[in-house]
């Protein structure tokens, strides 16, 4: 990781080399921002880069947009993406599409390219495969200038996340959301410790993908948030709490099979930078949940 101080002290050439990839194949953005050094904060650096883009001519903006690869496209299959793009697309599973999914993305990409003459650009770290498909549908209804504006907005988000992962700074950019949980046992009046918890991502097609499996600690929480230090991808999730095994271990009188075995809580995330606290307050015979804080 570079530090802001190091970046502030570099020659223009070194600075441009260091941050040339923050905007895909467009090191001119870093070069333009270089002149505005020193930067007191990471936010100031990001602002200088986005200002450079905004000040550029329409041709240059369009070239920047077109410098981006298709999502899950042929370049990705051929291994011809930048390292950043490769890692970003992999994070949401775009490198593991089935043939059917690949066809679907290809059709959508082609439709989008056909309508707007630019690739469909989206900050994938804020999304799931499902929400990308929703965005495709929504953005196919935009007009040309809305399409360009939206593409630039997504490019700025991508740039911010790339800066965040490559430059360390005392104050970080506000890019990170959080998903956490907490299990309260109101049968015993204590935090529920030792409860197996799973987090699943659900797709509109009915697919379910296990994201993680953990166990609650003495305070009924997980040792670290379920998702943190990154945007929480827009999408639908299901938490599954193995409550029957917990209550059985604590000697509660249960029916056989227990009324509540695995408790599923299904919810959707709309703001990747938001804090989603989803507690379970439960007995063997009932429970409640809510968006907490």
Residues that bind a copy of itself (CB under 8 A): 131, 134, 182, 184, 186-191, 219-220, 234-236, 238, 253, 255-264, 266-268, 270-271, 281, 283-293
Q: How far is the CB of 189 from a copy of itself (least distance, A)?
A: 3
Alpha-carbon torsion angle 153, 155, 160, 166, nearest 10? 180
Helix (H) or strand (E) holding 211: strand 208-215
Decide the pairing of beta strands 262-269 and 235-242: antiparallel
Which tokens go with 12? Answer: 């223009």
Q: Which is nearer to a copy of itself, 93 or 188 (CB)?
A: 188
Q: Which is nearer to a copy of itself, 3 or 259 (CB)?
A: 259
Q: Which is nearer to a copy of itself, 86 or 236 (CB)?
A: 236
Q: Which is nearer to a copy of itself, 156 or 267 (CB)?
A: 267
Angle subtended at Cα 168 by Cα 164 and Cα 170, rounded to the nearest 5 degrees: 105
Which tokens go with 47? Answer: 């602002």
- CA–CA separation, 221 and 183 (whole Å): 6
Q: How far is the CB of 293 from a copy of itself (least distance, A)?
A: 4
Q: How far is the CB of 256 from a copy of itself (least distance, A)?
A: 6
Q: How far is CA 58 from CA 55, 62, 86, 116, 243, in A?
A: 9, 6, 27, 15, 58
- CA–CA separation, 114 and 43 (whole Å): 36
Q: Which is nearer to a copy of itself, 13 or 186 (CB)?
A: 186
Q: How far is the CB of 109 from a copy of itself (least distance, A)?
A: 23
Which tokens go with 4? Answer: 């802001």
Q: How far is the CB of 180 from a copy of itself (least distance, A)?
A: 14
Q: How far is the CB of 266 from a copy of itself (least distance, A)?
A: 6
Q: Which is nearer to a copy of itself, 21 or 220 (CB)?
A: 220
């Amino acid at each position: 990781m570079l530090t802001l101080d190091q970046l502030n002290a570099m020659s223009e050439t070194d600075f441009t080399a260091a941050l040339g990839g923050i905007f895909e194949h467009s090191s001119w953005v870093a070069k333009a921002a270089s002149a505005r050094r020193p930067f007191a904060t990471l936010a100031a650096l990001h602002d200088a880069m986005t200002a450079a883009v905004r000040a550029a001519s329409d041709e240059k903006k369009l070239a920047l947009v077109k410098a981006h690869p298709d999502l899950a496209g042929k370049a990705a299959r051929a291994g011809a993406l930048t390292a950043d793009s490769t890692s970003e697309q992999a994070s949401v599973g775009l490198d593991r599409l089935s043939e059917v999914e690949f066809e679907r993305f290809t059709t959508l990409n082609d439709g989008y390219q056909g309508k707007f003459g630019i690739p469909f650009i989206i900050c994938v770290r804020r999304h799931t495969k499902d929400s990308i498909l929703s965005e495709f549908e929504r953005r196919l209804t935009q007009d040309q200038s809305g399409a360009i504006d939206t593409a630039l907005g997504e490019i700025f988000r991508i740039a911010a996340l790339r800066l965040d992962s490559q430059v360390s700074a005392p104050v970080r950019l506000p890019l990170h959301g959080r998903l956490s949980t907490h299990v309260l046992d109101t049968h015993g009046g204590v935090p529920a410790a030792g409860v197996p918890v799973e987090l699943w991502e659900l797709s509109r097609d009915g697919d379910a993908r296990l994201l993680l499996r953990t166990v609650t600690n003495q305070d009924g929480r997980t040792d670290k948030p379920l998702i943190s230090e990154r945007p929480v991808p827009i999408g639908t999730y299901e938490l599954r709490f193995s409550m029957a095994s917990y209550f059985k271990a604590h000697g509660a009188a249960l029916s056989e099979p227990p009324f509540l075995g695995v408790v599923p809580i299904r919810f959707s995330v709309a703001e990747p930078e938001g804090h989603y606290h989803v507690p379970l307050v439960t007995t063997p015979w009932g429970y409640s949940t809510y968006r907490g804080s």
